[in-house]
Chains A and B, each alone.
Chain A
Amino acid sequence: MAEAQKVYEIPIGPIHPALKEPIRFTFQVEGERIRGVDVRPGFAHRGIEFMGLKRNLIQVLYLSERICGICSISHPIAITLAVERAAGIEVPPRAQYLRVIFSELERIHSHLLWAGVAAHELGFDTLLHLTWKVREEVLDVLEELSGNRIDYSIPIYGGVRRDIAPEQYPKVEAMIRHYRGLLEELLDAFLRDPSVAARTRGVGVLTAEEADSLCAVGPTARASGLAKDVRQDRPYLVYGELGVRAITPRDWGLEPRGDVYDKAVVRLLEIGQSLDLIEKCLHEMPDGEITAFPKIPALLAFLKKAEGEGLGWHEAPRGEVIHYIRLEAGVEEPVAWKVKAPTYSNLMSWVPMFRDQEVADIPIIAASIDPCMCCMDRVHVVQDGSPSTLLKEELLRLSRAKTERVLQGLSRVGGGA
């Protein structure tokens, strides 16, 4: 009894100055030590999938882009791949290279953004301003190539909407050179700095076994030493030919420990990897068409006739993103659309990461998985006007009942799955 009274509960969130997006943590703390944590998401649910079912596929594409402002090419890439698989559309090779170039540019700006946020959470604001200053360079290149700083509106079903013109090549190459020179400085500032190491070494540890059993994805999993990267494991676009290899702290000459430091190692090294990939793409990219459907009415007509289901996946900066889509002939809207954002898979990693840590480390541990709540929130259960919790058994029962209903509906229209 006396033991139990020493443990207090601190609720943080859903709205809290230290959190960039709404989520609720309930920490059990004993003195300065965190003994356990309960995470409750669902405060940023926007019903995007539902909205998608009321729009035609071209409109859904731009809706998907707005699932996340930072991953604003990852979601369109995943959904175009899903629709292309469902409808049987062949993407011209040049368009595939261009999609890779844009997604690697996005990875660079996203990882730089994270590095700045991490520095800020550590109270190292000089580094925040420095990182965000250099981040402008890649945003300028994205603006030059796509016309927008974020939400580039580049992929379209069957290809991409903009080509890289010959006069733009030198600008991209200059950016690559600029960052190559800078990377050493960034690695120095983050990884060889004793105060950063003191605040991040051994903090927020996720062991390889935990990462594996909790299905962590992206840099969160790689920092624990799992060589897991969708670009390597299930190649799509031209990633197979480019030969992407998952980056772990071993590439920095260290045994992975899965702490915040290792997560910084992975993300910073991935900036270098993305630079290499962009350079390779620029050299290897063949000439040719950039889309299979230069005319939008033809694309709309083709998509309306399409029937089938498709899965699209992509290694977003935060990890694997998956889009599932189901199309029916004769309707312009998708009949089913399911999105799984990387944070959804990484959320549970917080539980072992917070265990036995100090209260002062909460912000940096929370930031270390690079969370994005509004991308991830897919459900918000409200019953009788108040939020309630569904346990696994109940959810399973609901899910099975829905399958029954769907099957009945399918047999009514006379089509099988």
Chain B
Amino acid sequence: MILKTLFSQLLTRPPTNRFPAKYMPKSVLGFLGRVKEGKAELVPPVPVPPRFRGKIAYSREKCIGCQLCIRVCPAKVIEFLPEVKKIRMHVARCTFCAQCVDACPVGALSESPEFLLSDTDRRSPALTVE
């Protein structure tokens, strides 16, 4: 039975998604640079489901500075900016529990489908939401 499965796999596509390219590039950063220049093509990642919990999106206009999100955040992601009564999130610490989204009384926070968040600098703009 297992042999049947194994041989049938010879004829099917591999279940692994070959991200970011069919063959591993020598340098991933170099490859991504070429993708930006339009010289190479990215194999897209597996699509995420509709209510995926990705990087938290923040609407600065809606935020009333109540700090409820800071109270419930288990990972101390969120920093309060007292002068402007707004928040700043350090995504590198985030556990994607989305408890802050549930807690926010004005709906200033939401789950975005974005999940490719690796960076070499945890303070980089890509990892800071404000």
Chain B interface, >50% SS class = loop
A59 near B73 with CB under 8 A, answer: yes
From A58, A147, A188, contact of B2 by CB (8 A):
A188
With A127-B2, A133-B15 already in contact, 11 other A-B pairs whose C-beta atoms are closer than 8 Å? A58-B74, A59-B73, A60-B74, A62-B95, A144-B49, A147-B52, A147-B96, A148-B96, A153-B99, A296-B68, A296-B72
Q: Which residues of B contact A300 (CB under 8 A)?
A: 71-72
Q: Are B74 and A59 in contact (CB under 8 A)?
A: yes
Give the most central of B52, B97, B111: most A CB within 10 Å: B97
13 contacts between A and B (CB under 8 A): A56-B72, A58-B74, A58-B99, A59-B72, A59-B74, A60-B74, A62-B97, A66-B95, A147-B51, A147-B53, A147-B96, A151-B96, A297-B105
- Establish whether residues B97 and A151, one from each chain, have CB atoms under 8 Å apart when the complex forms: yes
Task: Report the minimal beta-carbon distance from B102 to chain A, rounded to whole angstroms.
Answer: 6
Give Cα A65 to B97, complex, Å.
10
Q: With an 8 A cutoff between CB atoms, is A143 at the interface? A: yes
Judge if B29 is at the interface, Cβ distance under 8 Å. no
Is the pair B74, A147 in contact by a Cβ cutoff of 8 Å? no
Is B98 part of the binding interface, using a Cβ–Cβ cutoff of 8 Å?
Answer: yes
Query: Cβ of A126 and Cβ of B72 under 8 Å apart?
Result: no
A143 B52 Cβ-Cβ under 8 A: yes
Q: Does B5 contact A (CB under 8 A)?
A: yes
In the complex, A287→B2 CA distance in Å?
Answer: 42
- Are B111 and A147 in touch, CB under 8 angstroms? yes
Which residue of the partner chain B has the closest CB to A171?
Answer: B49
Q: Which residues of A contact B2 (CB under 8 A)?
A: 126-127, 130, 185, 188-189, 193
B117 at the interface (CB under 8 A from A): no
Q: Which residue of A lies closest to B16 (CB)?
A: A133
Query: CB distance A56 to B99 under 8 Å?
Result: no
How many of A's residues come within 8 Å of B, CB to CB?
A: 32
- A63 contacts B71, CB within 8 Å? no
Residues of A within 8 A of B96 (CB): 147-148, 151, 153
Residues facing A in B4-51 (CB within 8 A) are 5-6, 15, 48-49, 51
Which B residues form the contact surface with A (CB < 8 A)?
1-2, 5-6, 15, 48-49, 51-53, 68, 71-75, 95-99, 102-103, 105, 111
Contact A148 B53 (CB under 8 A): yes
Cβ of A55 within 8 Å of any chain B Cβ, yes or no, is: yes
Residues of the A chain whose Cβ atoms lie less than 8 Å from the Cβ of B1: 185, 188-189
A59 to B74, CA, bound (A): 4
Find the B residue at minimum CB distance from A189.
B2
Q: How far is the CA of A309 from the CA of B9 in the complex (A)?
A: 55
A60 to chain B, nearest CB (A): 8
Residues of B within 8 A of A62 (CB): 74-75, 95, 97, 99
Q: Once the chains bind, are A161 and B102 in contact (CB under 8 Å)? A: yes
Q: Once the chains are docked, how many angstroms separate the CA of A58 from the CA of B51? A: 22
Assess the B6–A126 pair: CB atoms within 8 A.
yes
* A161 cross-chain contacts in B, Cβ below 8 A: 102
CA of A65 to CA of B96 in the docked complex: distance in angstroms? 12
| A255 interface residue (CB < 8 Å to B) | no
Contacts of B97 in A (CB 8 A): 62, 65, 151, 153
Q: Determine whether the beta carbon of B53 is less than 8 Å from that of A58.
A: no
Give chain B residues whose Cβ lies under 8 Å from the Cβ of A130: 2, 5-6
**A24 close to chain B: CB less than 8 A:** no
Which of B5, B15, B53, B68 meets A297, CB within 8 Å?
B68
Cβ of A162 within 8 Å of any chain B Cβ, yes or no, is yes
Q: How far is the CA of A146 from the CA of B111 in the complex (A)?
A: 12
Residue in B15, B48, B53, B73 whose CB lies within 8 Å of A153: B53
Whose C-beta in chain B lies nearest to the C-beta of A185? B1
Query: Given the complex of chains A and B, what is the CA–CA distance between A252 and B5 in angstroms?
Result: 24
Given contacts A136-B15, A189-B2, A296-B72, contact A151 B95 (CB under 8 A): yes
Cα A359 to Cα B45 with chains together (Å): 43
| Interchain nearest-CB distance for B112 vs A (Å) | 11
Q: CB-CB < 8 A to B75: which residues of A?
A: 62
Q: Which residues of A contact B49 (CB under 8 A)?
A: 140, 143-144, 147
A66 / chain B contacts, CB cutoff of 8 Å: 95
Chain A residues within 8 Å of B72, by CB: 56, 58-59, 296, 300
B106 to chain A, nearest CB (A): 12
User: How far, in angstroms, from A58 to B71 measured CA to CA in the complex?
Assistant: 9
A296: chain B residues at CB < 8 Å are: 68, 72, 99, 102-103
Which residues of B sit under 8 angstroms from A65, Cβ to Cβ? 97
Closest to A137 in B: B15
**Bound: A126/B51 CA distance, A:** 34
Within 8 A of B (CB), among A37-71: 55-56, 58-63, 65-66
